[in-house]
Structure 1
Amino acid sequence: MYVMMYSNIKPEELDLRLFSVSPQTVYAPIAVEDKESTEKKRKEAKDSVKDVYTLKTEYAQNRVDLAGSIFDFILEVNDELAESEEQETWTAEEQLAEKQKILKEKLPQNIEKSLSDETFNRLLQANHEELKIAKDAVVTAVHNVMKDRITVNDVESKKQQVQNQLIYTNVSNELKKAMYNVAQFAIIPNVVYDPIKTEENRRQAVERVEPVRIKQGQILVEEGQLITTDIYRQLKLVGLLDRSHSVQPLIGLLMLTIIMISFVMHYFRERSTNSDRSLLLYVIVFTVIISVMKILSFFHEIQVSEIGFLAPVAAGGLLIRILLNERLAVISSIILAVCGSIIFNDGVTTVFNVYVGIYLLVSSLAAVLFLSQQHRRSKILQAGLFISLVNIMVILAILLIKNGQLDSVELSYYGMMGIASGVLAAVLTIGLLPFFEAGFGILSTMKLIELSNPNHPLLRKILTETPGTYHHSVMVANLSDSACEAIGANGLLARVGAYYHDIGKTRRPRYFIENQLGGKNPHDKLPPEVSKNIIIAHATEGAEILRRHKLPKEIVDIAEQHHGTTLLKYFYHKALEQTDQKILEKEYRYPGPKPQTKEAAVVGIADSVEAAVRSLTNPTPEKIESLVRSIIKDRLQDEQFNECDITLKELDLVTTSLCETLNGIFHSRIEYPELKKEKVKEHAGN
C-alpha cells in the first residue's frame, strides 16, 4: 500500500530561484493562508478610513455669546464713564484712555490678546446707537455662519463670508472695521476630530477584510513567467522551496497506511483459525487489485481523463467475499477506495480524488452485497453486470453533483468505463478464483455449493449404494445447518460435511441398520469385536475415500471426527455379556480425533440425535428434547468437546435448534376427512 501510493503524494522537487524564469507551470500543493498579504490588505483598509469629525452645535451659540459680550463690555464702560462727574473736564484723549483702562480690567485676557487696541478704540469711540446696531449685526452674522460645518480649512472662507454679511450695516466705516475684526474673531472650526469613532471605523474595516488564502491547485507561476519577490514568497509559503517539509506527506501516508492495516489485523486476530494462510491469501488478493489500480494510473499521466472509473476494484470485493468473509470484504472495499482516491489523484489540485474514491467504494460494496445471498459460481458474471449498472448510476450521480454541462460524448465515454469496470471485475474474479482455491486449499462458499450438488460422484455413490445412509445424511445435514447458524458457525460447511460424513458406509452397506431395509442383521452372527471393527472403520475409511477424491480438508475432518472417541456401547456391553475376561473400554471406542471445530461437533451431535429420534416409536416434543439433552450431556461427560471451542451456552442453543427442527419433521399429521371415510368403508367391507 505504502509503495503504491508513495509516488502520488511525494512532493515535487523544484529548482526555482528568485528573478529566474519558471521552466514549468507550478500549482499550489496545499491550501494555506498568506498572512503577509492579509496584513497588507488590512493595513490598506485601515488607511482608507478617513478621520471622523463631529459637528459641535453648541459652538455656534458660544461664539454668538462671545461676540455679543464684547459689545456689552464696551457699552458698560461707556455707561460707567458717563456717570462720572470728572469726565466732563477731560479731553477726548483722556476719556478714551480712561475707557481703555476700565475695559482691560473687565475683559478676559483671551479676548484682550485676540483683538487689537485699534479695534477696541474704534468700538469705544462709537456712540450708543451705533454700538447697538453693530452688536445686532455681528451677532446675526456670526450665528448665520457658525450654524454650518466649519473645518480648519474652511475658517478663512467663513471669515470672509461673515465680513460680506456686515458690509451693508448702517454704521461708520471705522466701526465696520471693528465689527469685521470682532465677527472674524468669533468664527472658529465647529467640526472636531473624534478619535473614538475613527478608531471604531478602522477596526470594522480591518475585520471586514477576508484572510488571503492560497488555494490548493492555484497557479502560482506559469511556464516562462518571471519569479518575482511576491511569487517567490508564495512558493516558499506553500513549502515548495523548503526541503524540510517534504517528509511530512510521507509520514502522513505512513500513518494512514498503519491505521488501515490495523483494521485488517484486528479482524484476523479475532479469527485465529487458519489466520496465517488466510492472511497470506488476503495479502495476495489485495496486492493484485492495488497493482492493477497503479498500472491504470499511469494512463492518467498521458491525459486519459478519469481513468479511475475503469479500475476493476470490485474484483477485490468479490474475491475476498468468496474466499474469506463478507465482513472482511466490506472493510477491504473501504480501504481500496481510500487507496484508489490517492492513486488516481491528479497530483496538482488535490491529494484525494474524492469522486473516484466514492465510485470505487460503491462499486466494490455493490459486488459484496450482490453475492451475500448468491453463492453459485455462475452468479459472478451476473454480479459483474450488476456492478456495471451501479457504476453507470454512480458516474451519472457524480456528474450531476458537479453541476457541469452533460455532454453526450463524455457521458458515453464514462459509461463505457463503468461497464468495462464491472465486466473486468467479473472476468478477473472468475480467472483468479481457481488458482486461489487450488493453491491455498480454500473451501469457499462456491466450492461448498458445488460439493452439495446431488450429481457429485460421491453423493451419487451414497445414494445408489446406501440409500438409507443418504437419507440419514440429508436429515443430519438439515439439523447441522440450522444448529450451526444458531451459534454463528458455518452452516453451509456443516451441511456439506454431513452429506459426506458417512461415505465410509459404502464399503459394507449391509452392516449398518439404515441400509438393511427390514432384512436380517448380519451382526447377529458376528462376534462383537468383529462388528466393532466394521462399525469403527466407516469413519477412518470414509476419510480415506474423501482424501483419495481430493475433497477439502474441512470435509475430511468432519467425516473423521464426527464420532470423536465415543464408545460403541451396544457391542461393548455385548462383549461383556459373552465373556468373563476383562475387556478394555478403549478397544470399543472410535479412534478419533475428537472434534476440532464447532462444525464437526455439531455434525456429531446431529448424527447421534437423528438416529436416536428415528428409533422412537411415538416421538413427542418432550421425548425429543429429553433425548437430545441426554445425548449432549453424555458427550460432555465423555469429554468429547474438550478440543473444540464450543461453549455451554452454544450447546444450549444447539439443543434448542435441534429440537425445533426435529419437531418440524416429526410433528403430528392431521388426518383429512376423506381419508377417514375411506378407512370406515374398508373396515365395513372387512
Structure 2
Amino acid sequence: MKKISDQLYRNQSLVYKVFLYIATTAGILYLFPKGGQFKYEFQKGKPWQYENLLAPFDFPIHKSDEEITLEKEKVTKTVNPYYNYDAEVEAIVLNDIDNVYSNYFADSVPATVKTKINTTVKDIYKKGVVMSFPENDKGTINLIREGNQVKEANTKNIFQISQLHNFLTNTFKEEPYVSYTDNIYELLFDVLKPNVIKNENFTEKAKEEALSKISYTRGTVDAGKLIIVKGEVVEGDKFNILNSLKKEYESQLWSESSYTYIVIGYVVLIGLTLLMLLMFLKKNRTSIYNNNTKVTFIFLNIVFMVFLTSLSIKYNVLYIYIVPLTILPIIIKAFFDSRTALFVHVLTIMLLGFIVPNSFEYIFIQIIAGIVTIITVSELYKRASLFISVGQITLVYLIAYFAFYIISEGDFNTENLWIFGFFLLNGLITVVSAQSLIYIYEKLFGLDSDVSLLELSDTNSRLLRELSEKAPGTFHHSLQVANLAEAAAIEIGANAMLARVGALYHDIGKMNNPTFFTENQKGSMNPHDELEPKESASIIINHVIDGISMAKKNNLPDRIIDFIRTHHGTSLVYYFYKKQVDTDPENAKEEDFRYPGPIPFSKETAILMMSDSVEAASKSLKNPTYGVIDMFVEKIINKQMDEGQFLNANITFKEIEQIKKILKQKLVNIYHLRIEYPE
C-alpha cells in the first residue's frame, strides 16, 4: 500500500492530468445533445453524393419550421377572442348620471334631454360598451354573458367609447338636443364605463387548444420507398423528406438499446480529440504540459465554448453564429502562442462539428475565422488593435456565410439580411468580452498577458522605482537594454513587449549590492579591490539568484523571471577568472566563476542576452567608430554562439544576423556618430 501511495505521490502531476482528461471528456459528453448521428451528410441545393437511398422504415414527413410558423399564425388569427359582458354596469352609470346631471345642465334645460340621455345609455349598454377594440380583435368575438353563456357578436354592433363624439353628433342632431350636444358629450365621457372587457385567460386557452390541434407532419413514407437517387439535387420535397428521415433516425437510434454504443462512440471521439491536444502539448509545448494550471485553463476554455454552443442550439439553431468562438484563439494566444491557439481552436471546432447542423459549413467558417483571428490579433494592450482585428474577423464571417448562403439557396433574398446581424452581434460580444475575460483569467489562474506586461513596463512601478533609487546606474543600463531588446524583437518578429519588460527587470538583483557593479560606482573607489577574485565573482553571480528571489517576492510573472535567470546563461565572469589565474592559478576553477544558467530558451531571452552584453561592454569603448562598433558587436555575439548559449533558444542564424545589424545601428545612434567630412 505504501508503495502505491509513494508511486501516486511521485506521479501526482500525471494523475491530475488523467483526472482532468476524464472529467473534461465526461463534461463535454454531458453537454452534447442526446441523439444519434445521421450517417448521411447533405445540404440543400447540392447533389446527393451517396448511393440510391431507400426508406429504412415507415416515417412521417415533418413540416418545415417555416410551414409550421405560417400555420400557427393562420390558426391564431382564426381564434375568436373572448370578452366578458357585465350587466350591472348599466345601473351604476345611470345612477351616476342622476347624481352629476345638474353639474352639466342648467335648470332651464328641457326634461326631455335627460330622458333622451337615459334612453340612449340603456340602448348602448344592451349591445355592450367597450373602450375600443384592438385591431386584431375587430370582427367576430365570443361574448360571455350571465351564466357563462357564450354567444358570437360582431364588434361593429358593440359601442366603443372612443367613437362617442361621432355617435352623439348623429344621435342628438334634432332640436332641442342639438343645442346641448357638447354638454351631453362631457357628461357621458365622464360617466360611461365599459361593460365588455376582454377575458385574456379564456382567449389564451382557446389559442392553445387550437395550436395543439396543428399537425407537425404531412403524409408518410413507407419502408422500401425510393427517397433519392445518386447525383440528384437535394431540394424541395426531397430536402424535407431527408430532414424528416434524419429526425426520426436520430430519435429512434437514441431511444433504442443501442444508445450505450452511441455513448461509447462519443466518448472515444471526444477522448481522442483531447488526447491529441495533450500529445501536442507534451511534444511541442513542454512548459505548458508540465504546468497543470495551464492545462486546466485550456481544457476549461474548451468546455466553456462547447457549453455556450450547446446552450444556443437548445434555443435556436441560428444562435450558434452569435457564440463568440474567436474569443478562444484570442485568449489562448494572449497567454501562450499562435500555434497553440490554432491547435486548440481547430480541435474545439471539430468537437462542435458533432452537434451543429450543416457541420461542414460551420467548421469551414469557424476555422477560417480562427485563422484570421490568430493572424490579425496582436498587441492587445493597444485599444485600437482589438477593434480593428474583430472588424476584420466579422467581415470574414459575413463573406464566408454569404458564399455558403448563395450556394445553398441559388440567390440572395434581402428578407434574410437579419441573419448577418448575428455576426455583427458576435463581433460586438467579442470586443466587449475579450479584455474582461483576459483580466479575469489573469487573476484566477495567475497567468500573464501582454496587457499585464504593459502594466509592468511602467517605470513608476514600485520595484523599478526602488531600482532607480538604490542602483541608478543599473536602472539607466536596464532602460538602454530595454530599448535595444525591443528594437531587435521587432526586427525578427518576436514579442517586443515581453523582451522590453524582461530587460527592465533583468538586473533587479543588483539592488542588494549596487556599489559592486561598475555602473553604480562613483569616483575611483572600487570595493572589489579589497576582495579575492573568487569572492568578487560570487557577488557578481549572486545578482542573478538575488534577482530571482526578489522577483518571486514581488509576484513577477514566471516569464519575466526567466529573463533574470537566463540573461547571463552559463557564461564566465571572465575579468575575475583572469585575475584569479594571474594571482593563484592553482585555485582557478572555471565552475567557481561561471553563472549557473540555464541558457536562454526563447528568442526573447536570447535577444536580452545579446543586448545586455553589448550595452554593458559598449561603456568601455573610448573612441567608437563605425568599424569599431561593427567589430565589437560581432566579437561579443560570436563568442556567445561559440559557447553554445543559443542552442535552446529556437533562433536562426539569419535572425541573429538581423539582431547584430539592429544593435550596431542603435549603438551608432547612442554615440551620435556622424560621417567624417574631408577638410
Query: For this structure pair, what is the TM-score category when the shorter chain's length is used for normalisation?
Result: 0.5 to 0.7
Contact 1:479-1:658 at 8 Å conserved across structures: no
Are 1:583 and 2:587 an aligned pair? Answer: yes
Superposition deviation, residue 512 in structure 1: 2.5
1:499 aligns to 2:504 (yes or no): yes
- What residue in structure 1 maps to residue 378 of structure 2? 372
> What SS is found at the alignment partner of 1:443?
coil
Q: 1:481 to 1:212 in 2, by over 3 A?
A: closer
Pair 393,559 (structure 1): closer, same or farther in 2 beyond 3 Å:
same
- The answer to whether structure 1 residue 443 and structure 2 residue 448 are counterparts is yes
Kept in 2, the 8 Å contact 1:381–1:423? The answer is no
CA 1:636/1:439 → structure 2, altered by over 3 Å: closer, same or farther? same
Bigger Cα Rg: 1
Is 1:608–2:610 an aligned residue pair?
A: no
Aligned to 2:301: 285
Preserved CA contact (<8 Å) 2:599 2:648: no
Q: Which amino acid aligns with 2:29?
A: V
Work out whether residues 629 and 668 of structure 2, in 8 Å CA contact, stay in contact via their aligned partners in 1. no
Q: 1:549 Cα shift?
A: 1.0
Cα distance change, pair 24–616 in 1 and its aligned pair in 2 (3 A): same
2:601 is aligned with 1:597: yes
Question: Is 1:219 paired with 2:231?
Answer: no
Q: Which residue of 1 aligns with 2:434?
A: 429
Aligned partners of 1:35 and 1:212 also within 8 Å:
no
TM-superposed CA distance for 1:500, in Å, is 0.9
Cα separation, 1, equivalents of 2:517 and 2:511? 10
Structure 2 counterpart of 1:7? 33
Contact 1:494 1:603 in 2 (8 A): yes
Could you tell me how far apart the structure 2 residues matched to 1:284 and 1:484 are? 32
1:15-164 → structure 2 map (5 Å cutoff)? none
Q: Is the 8 A contact 1:334 1:361 kept in 2?
A: yes
Q: Which residue in 2 is equivalent to 1:546?
A: 551
Equivalent residue letter for 1:546: A
In the TM superposition, 1:630-649 aligns within 5 A as 630-632=635-637, 634-635=639-640, 645-646=648-649
Partners of 2:351 and 2:234 lie apart in 1 by: 32
Using the TM superposition, give the Cα deviation of residue 566 of structure 1 relative to its aligned residue in structure 2, in angstroms. 3.5
Alignment of 1:199-598 (within 5 A): 217-219=239-241, 264=277, 267-268=280-281, 269-277=283-291, 278-300=294-316, 306-340=318-352, 342-345=354-357, 352-353=358-359, 356-357=362-363, 360-361=366-367, 363-376=369-382, 380=386, 402=409, 403=411, 405-407=413-415, 411-412=417-418, 414=419, 417-481=422-486, 490=495, 492-516=497-521, 519-523=523-527, 525-529=529-533, 531-575=536-580, 582-586=586-590, 588-595=592-599, 597-598=601-602
C-alpha deviation, 1:670, in angstroms: 3.5
**Residues 243, 424 of structure 1: alpha-carbon distance in 2 compared, 3 angstrom cutoff:** same
Q: CA deviation at 1:359?
A: 5.2
Conserved 8 A contact 1:504-1:539? yes
User: What's 1:650 paired with?
Assistant: 652
Query: Conserved in 1, the CA contact under 8 Å of 2:492 and 2:658?
Result: no
Mean Cα deviation higher: 431-440 or 396-405: 396-405
1:454 and 1:544 mapped to 2: Cα distance?
20
The alpha carbon displacement at 1:344 in A equals: 3.6
Shift of 1:507: 3.5
User: Shift in Å at residue 257 of structure 1?
Assistant: 5.3
Cα pair 1:289 1:315 within 8 Å, conserved = no
Tell me the number of residue pairs that the alignment of Structure 1 and Structure 2 aligns.
474
Q: Is the 8 A contact 1:621 1:659 kept in 2?
A: no
User: Quick check: 2:61–2:217 contact (8 Å CA) kept in 1?
Assistant: no
What is the Cα deviation at residue 551 of structure 1? 0.3
Q: Secondary structure at the match of 2:33?
A: helix
Cα pair 2:509 2:547 within 8 Å, conserved: yes
2:10 counterpart residue number? none
What is the identity, as a one-letter code, of the residue corresponding to 2:414? L
State the alpha-carbon separation in 1 of the partners of residues 401 and 377 from structure 2.
22
Partners in 2 of 1:524 and 1:663 — Cα distance?
Answer: 34
Q: Which runs of 5+ in 2 are unaligned?
A: 1-24, 39-55, 63-213
Alpha-carbon distance between aligned partners in 2 of 1:554 and 1:29, rounded to the nearest angstrom: 65
CA deviations over 1:429-468 (Å, ceiling 9, x no partner): 3343234334444333333333223343333333455443
Specify the SS of the correspondent of 1:477: helix
Give the superposition deviation at 1:213: 11
SS in 1 for 2:587: coil
Cα distance change, pair 8–486 in 1 and its aligned pair in 2 (3 A): farther
**Offset at residue 612 of structure 1 (A):** 1.9
Task: State TM-score, norm by structure 1.
Answer: 0.55
Residues 228 and 238 in structure 2, CA contact (< 8 A), matched pair in contact too: no
CA distance in 1, matches of 2:520, 2:478: 12
8 Å CA contact 2:59, 2:220 repeated in 1: no
Q: CA deviation at 1:315?
A: 1.7
Aligned in 2, Cα 1:630/1:34: closer, same or farther, shift over 3 Å?
farther
Corresponding letter in the other structure for 2:378: S
Report the Cα distance in structure 1 between the residues aligned to 2:365 and 2:485, rounded to whole angstroms.
41
CA RMSD, aligned part only? 5.2
Query: Tell me, which stretches of 5 or more residues in structure 1 are unaligned?
Result: 39-206, 223-230, 346-351, 681-686
Match of 1:661 in 2: 663
Q: Secondary structure at the match of 1:306?
A: helix
Please state how far the C-alpha of 1:525 moved relative to its aligned partner: 4.9
TM-score (norm 2): 0.56
Once residues 378 and 521 of structure 2 are traced to their aligned partners in structure 1, the CA distance between those partners, rounded to angstroms, is 42
Corresponding residue number in structure 2 for 1:133: none
CA distance, structure 2, for counterparts of residue 482 and residue 221 of structure 1: 59
Instruction: Specify the code of the residue in structure 1 equivalent to 2:506.
Output: H
Question: In 1, Cα distance between the equivalents of 2:430 and 2:403?
Answer: 21
Distance change (3 Å), C-alpha of 1:558 and 1:211: closer
